[in-house]
Structure formats: C-alpha cells, structure tokens
Structure 1
C-alpha cells in the first residue's frame, strides 16, 4: 500500500535571511537547507524542533510579485496559519519571550490545550500549543 506524507509547506517571506533569523534563531528551528539557485533565488528549508523530517518543515520562499507581498500575514485569509506543538508550554513560552517573540495574548487554558497566539515578523499568526493528555 502506498503512503503519502505532507512533508513541507511554503511560507512567503520578504527576505530569506530575515526568515532564517526568525525561525532558526528565535524559534529554534533547524536550518535544513540553504541552496543558491541563482538570480537571487534560494531554496531555504527550516524544520521545527522534534519534527525529524516528519512534516514539520517550511520552505521559505521570497516574494516575487505584488500579490505575494500583499498576502503577508494573510496567507490563510484570517485564521491562525500555523500550529507549533510543545510538550512543555511554560518553558517554550518563556524561551520565546526571551528571544523576542511577541505574543498577541496571555496563555489561555482551553479544554483541549494550553495555547497562546504569536505572530512572526511577517504577520503570520501561530498558536503555541501544549495539548492536554487525552487520558486526563
């Protein structure tokens, strides 16, 4: 039987190095690849900590036209775009704040998780989530 896996999603950024600075340096993503493709284009892939190639990768693509630039921060049409799971919300939240990540709200305790929204420097919204144990 054939198995398909979502390996990577594209995230449009205004500048490759700014994307790397935020995702790798502030959020702690691993820079998997940064290959020069010529003509100012690069193939830049970052991976969320703990993903181990299992789909937590982002291809950082530089905007190349006005419609892509206009989509910054609204790539999903309004809802939170990305969800970053953690097994220790308090530690991750504290580390992100220390790295300069700006949260849009105080942590809240939902029936399914502890969660707080933050935005990347490009306007995309993220939820930092520690899911509740389903056995509770």
Structure 2
C-alpha cells in the first residue's frame, strides 16, 4: 500500500520566477532542474533536509494547446500529490476493490510504474513505484 509522500506539484506561470521565489522567500533548496523534453523541465524545490519535494510545473504548449490552456486556468487552484507505493499494480487493484476511482491504469515509465487516482472530490493523486 501507500508508504510515503514524496512530491507535490504546484502549477506556476514562470518556473524561473517560481524557483527564485521558493528559494529566496521560503528558503527552499533547488533539488532538480533538468530539461526532459524540448521546452519542458523537471524542477523541484524542498526545505533543506526535507523529504517531500515541490515540483514546480509551468504549463507548456508541448502538452498540447488545449491541455496547456487548461493547466494555466488551474494555476493557484490546486495541486497533485505523489504517493510512493511498493507495488503499484497491487495497490491499484486493492484501491479499486475499495471503490477508489482509477483515472490511469498502471503503466511502465522510465522511473518505474505509475498510476493515477482521484479522491471523492476529484483531487488527483499519482501513485509511484520507483525502480
């Protein structure tokens, strides 16, 4: 089952401005800043020594025009919480038996296996089994 909270995603208008604000205003440290696809970056910040990281995500047209516009509309209105699991497929099966809505079935990704669920209000969660 779920074993830890690892990341939370915050949508931002400009990732460089957000890095500056989180590091200068909150004293967070920059953990990752890497381009993973053209025009798309993986950026995380966290309190020094903290375990949970904040992923700063800037909507990009690389996601698709409609998706980027939808993401921009959500800036400041919510987050996605990442939950660590030991076995993503088994966890999804157990959660599904309990009536949890699965919005993305488990799939292999470069870092392991992941799936998506939502809570009773539609708040999204990403279940991640890392390699």
Q: TM-score, normalised by structure 2?
A: 0.49
Q: Quick one: higher RCO (CA 8 Å, sep 6+), 1 or 2?
A: 2
Q: TM-score, normalised by structure 1?
A: 0.48
Q: Normalized per residue, which structure has more helix? A: 2
Q: Normalized per residue, which structure has more strand? A: 2
